[in-house]
Amino acid sequence: MKHQATKSPSDQLLATEWNAEHLLTEGLDASKPSSGLVARQLYWATDTKILYKAISATTWEELLRGEAVSRLAQLSEKSHANLTGVTASQHHTKTTSGEINLADLAEKAHGSLTGVTADQHHTQDHASRHVDGGADEITSKLDFRAINIMQVKATATTTFSTTSTTFVDVTGLSVNINLPQTGVILVSCSAYAIRNSGGSVFGTCQQLVRNSTVIRNTLITGGDNDSWNGLITTLDVNVAAGSHTYKLQGRVGTDGTSYWDMHATAGQQGEIFVIAFKY
């Protein structure tokens, strides 16, 4: 098929030249001839919508494409890197979660973040760092977060007596403390009066106990019905973290009966208290 140009009589020569050199054929893209081409010969590929022009006897040059196949969606090669004049930020707006990461930004200064405080920026790890054995060992020695000063107190409200020659717990004079970490414990236990009735000259024994460990003991000697102030104070050092019970125990020497907390006024029979400090 030749393209028939319509020309005025004065242009007949030019029209003849055009029709001779611009032979237009059509068919499938894969079916276009590959040899014997005439320069400026045209070929329309009906399936790919591409218009070709022969530039040599064996070579076609693409002139144009139909709009239906020239859109980006219709191209088999759509790599963003092969687009010219288009930057990554111009390609589309990043709005989907996971597309924008702080690590990908060139500018990451904490001071440039808005609406974010220092503690929100990272996990608050003070509890795990600023303790003995933590990342800030020297600083942890000054840490009073876990244990500054703890205290527990108990008051005896009744009298207590025993004829046992082995140690038994004195009623009402016991406290429990739960240490979050190793501590130093100041322990004090007092009774208004202690006496032994029954004639024993071996007196009365008492001791402070942590759990099952004796940490301090005293012996009060005297004759029948002698009364003494029953005060024991001691410092219990390097006490491990955990729950501990401090209590007073007492016994008689060899015979008789020993008495604690013999004051008649309520609340003045005796008391025990512990004060814990960071070790």
- Classify domain 149-278 by CATH architecture: Sandwich (2.60)
pLDDT for the residue 146:
47
For residues 136 and 131, give the distance between their C-alpha atoms in angstroms, rounded to a whole number. Answer: 8
* Residues linked to residue 258 through DSSP beta bridges, in sequence order: 162, 196
Which of 85-94, 115-124, 190-199, 219-228 holds the top average pLDDT?
190-199
For residues 198 and 200, give the distance between their C-alpha atoms in angstroms, rounded to a whole number. Answer: 6
pTM, two decimals, is 0.48
For residues 77 and 95, give the distance between their C-alpha atoms in angstroms, rounded to a whole number. Answer: 25
Only one residue has tokens 């003991």, namely: 217
Our CA dihedral for 26, 30, 32, 33, rounded to 10 degrees, sits at: -160
3 state DSSP class of 127: helix
For residues 156 and 57, give the distance between their C-alpha atoms in angstroms, rounded to a whole number. Answer: 119
**Phi then psi for 160, rounded to 5 degrees?**
-140, 140
Angle (CA) 231 235 236, round 5°: 120
Q: Exposed (0-12), middle (13-18) or buried (19+): which is 61, by Cβ within 10 Å?
A: exposed
Least confident interval from 90-94, 158-162, 196-200: 90-94
Give the 3-state secondary structure percentages of the chain, helix then strand then coil, rounded to 5: 15, 40, 45
**Sequence ranges of the domains in the chain:** 9-70, 149-278
Inter-residue contact 168 to 260 (CB < 8 Å): no
Question: Which 8-state DSSP code applies to residue 97?
Answer: T
User: How many helices, marked H, and strands, marked E, lie in the chain?
Assistant: 6, 14
pLDDT single digits (tens) 166-222: 999 999 999 999 998 899 999 999 888 888 876 556 678 899 999 999 999 888 776
Residue 142, pLDDT > 60, answer no
pLDDT for the residue 120:
65
Residue 140, pLDDT > 90, answer no
pLDDT band at 11, cuts 50/70/90? low
**Phi then psi for 21, rounded to 5 degrees?**
-95, -20
pLDDT band at 44, cuts 50/70/90? very high
Question: Which 8-state DSSP code applies to residue 144?
Answer: -
Which of 38-42, 120-124, 236-240, 256-260 holds the top average pLDDT?
236-240
Q: Take residue 144 and report the two structure tokens written for it.
A: 């009073």
Residue 62, pLDDT > 70, answer yes
For residues 48 and 66, give the distance between their C-alpha atoms in angstroms, rounded to a whole number. Answer: 8
Inter-residue contact 269 to 190 (CB < 8 Å): no
Listed in sequence order, the residues at least 6 apart from 169 whose beta carbon sits closer than 8 Å to its beta carbon are 247, 248, 249
The mean pLDDT value of the chain amounts to 78
